[in-house]
Structure 1
Amino acid sequence: MTDADILAGLKIARDNHVATACVKPYFTSLAKQELSGSDVLVCPVVGFPHGNSTTEIKVAEATAAAKAGGAEIDMVVNIGKVLGGDWEYVSSEIRVVNKAVVACGAILKVIFENDYLKPEYITRLCEICTEIGVAFVKTSTGYGFVKQADGSYNYKGATVGDLKLMREISGEKVQIKAAGGVRTLDDLLHVMSLGVTRIGATATVAILEDAKKRGIGNEPVEVSFKPMKEEGESAGY
């Protein structure tokens, strides 16, 4: 993604009054300038997309991003440590990064990368994030392709089952962000019905255009939606 691509995305964010615009860390200051005067917050990513940076690097990166104008920081957990069950490491890292971010006046979202994780790992991460008091837990980076038995690579992103689990286990004050796989207005409405309060999507314009066509605006309105497929259903999601 070039700087021109990022600027184009920021224009979409500004024109459509989305909650935040996710950017690469180096682009934080410029994004802050580009979105000045709007209601869109800047959201830099940290340890992205693999989560392999040391804790010290994540703290430094998160602090720099927050000081440069990042109001929300999205950090990827150390996925290897999660899969290895090193919960002391995982918990300590989330805690110190959250402390650094909050000290700068920002909030932290913790990205799990659910495609790699069994339900018990997602459960434990939600418990840890609740104990620490992070603002959001987030499903995915968009880069979590998993190699299948036939050699192909598959990516699901936010699934109905995972979102239900995350909402069930996470404390009331912890919000849920669905990222990856939410491609239509129906998808968005479905995940919102599950308790999701933030969506990460590249189909922003198409989703909002569909919302206008269906009479969805600033005033409350009752709408129906086509549910997303759950794992195990024939069409597959």
Structure 2
Amino acid sequence: MELNTFIDHTLLAATATKKEIKNLCEEAIKYQFYAVCVNSSRMKLAAEFLKNSNVKLAATIGFPLGASSLESKLVEADAAISQGANEIDMVMNLGLFKDGEFEMVQQEITAIKTAIGKNVLKVIIETAYLDNSEIAKASEIVMNAGADFVKTSTGFGSRGASLEDVQIMKKVVGDRVKIKASGGIRDAETARKYIDLGVSRIGTSSGIKIISVNSQ
């Protein structure tokens, strides 16, 4: 199992500088991580640093709360794709979900997937704020909306991913939608546990540590 091929090398701090973004991208190229994931305002910069590499570029949308309007999410997604993003990691509207406005939540996801076309859409459901039945329902909505991935966490919630979260998600989506686990995954042993459950991508800022342990 080549763990590097599962990793989205991530830097989403509000204070992330040009130097830090450059370093992130250089690390992703060196260690052959699958993708780099950064905030949408850093798309042009990251795209330039990743030029002529095989590393994909993911932009966060409506991050980290998911509470921005559909219109603003669409503009942000369109701008990110035009500036070089291959993938979009959007945050589901948790308030609408908690209100039981499931159709509106699904329509939002579908609208963003339609707007970005063949580019990959990952939907963050922020499992920290959901009970088990809500995790299942959110996963179902993401699947029915046509997204490519359902993702556990932003890394900015009260907790990150858990193995139980992923088990619930996998039971709902099966092989119809891929799963990305993120938040608190910092070592190779933990990463392998998630992959064994069927996770296709790991979002982490600890990719180098994971790879270093894996190579020993």
TM-score by length of 2: 0.90
Partner of 1:183: 186
Residue of 4, 13, 31 corresponding to 2:46? 31
Q: How does 1:57-206 map to 2 (within 5 A)?
A: 57-102=72-117, 105-145=118-158, 155=159, 157-206=160-209
Question: Would you say 1:44 and 2:47 are equivalent positions?
Answer: no
Deviation of 1:6 after TM superposition, in Å, equals 1.6
In terms of fraction of residues, the more helix-rich structure is 2
- Figure out how many residues of one structure are paired with residues of the other and give that number: 201
Measure the CA separation in 2 of the matches of 1:173 and 1:33.
Answer: 33
Measure the CA separation in 1 of the matches of 2:121 and 2:76.
Answer: 13
Cα deviation 1:123-164 (Å, max 9, x = unaligned):
11111122222110100001002xxxxxxxxx2x11011000
Measure the CA separation in 1 of the matches of 2:172 and 2:48.
Answer: 38
Deviation of 1:52 after TM superposition, in Å, equals 1.1
Q: How does 1:211-226 map to 2 (within 5 A)?
A: 211-213=214-216
Measure the CA separation in 2 of the matches of 1:97 and 1:68.
Answer: 16
Match for 1:36: what amino acid?
K
Cα deviation 1:160-196 (Å, max 9, x = unaligned):
1100011110142310000012111000110010000
Indicate the percent of aligned positions where both proteins have the same amino acid. 36
Match for 2:82: what amino acid?
K
Measure the CA separation in 2 of the matches of 1:133 and 1:12.
Answer: 32
Measure the CA separation in 2 of the matches of 1:173 and 1:68.
Answer: 29
Partner of 2:12: none
Structure 1 residue runs of 5 or longer lacking an equivalent are: 146-154, 214-237
**Secondary structure at 2:57 match in 1:** strand
Structure 2 residue runs of 5 or longer lacking an equivalent are: 1-15
Measure the CA separation in 2 of the matches of 1:131 and 1:83.
Answer: 18
Q: Output the aligned Cα RMSD.
A: 1.1
Match for 2:203: what amino acid?
G
Measure the CA separation in 2 of the matches of 1:182 and 1:143.
Answer: 13
**Secondary structure at 2:170 match in 1:** helix
Measure the CA separation in 1 of the matches of 2:109 and 2:163.
Answer: 25
Moved over 4 A (4+): none
**Secondary structure at 1:183 match in 2:** coil
Partner of 2:33: 18
Q: Select the structure of larger CA radius of gyration.
A: 1
Measure the CA separation in 2 of the matches of 1:133 and 1:171.
Answer: 14
Q: Is the 8 A contact 2:106 2:144 kept in 1?
A: no
Q: Is the 8 A contact 1:130 1:171 kept in 2?
A: no
Cα deviation 1:182-233 (Å, max 9, x = unaligned):
11100011001000010001111111011111xxxxxxxxxxxxxxxxxxxx
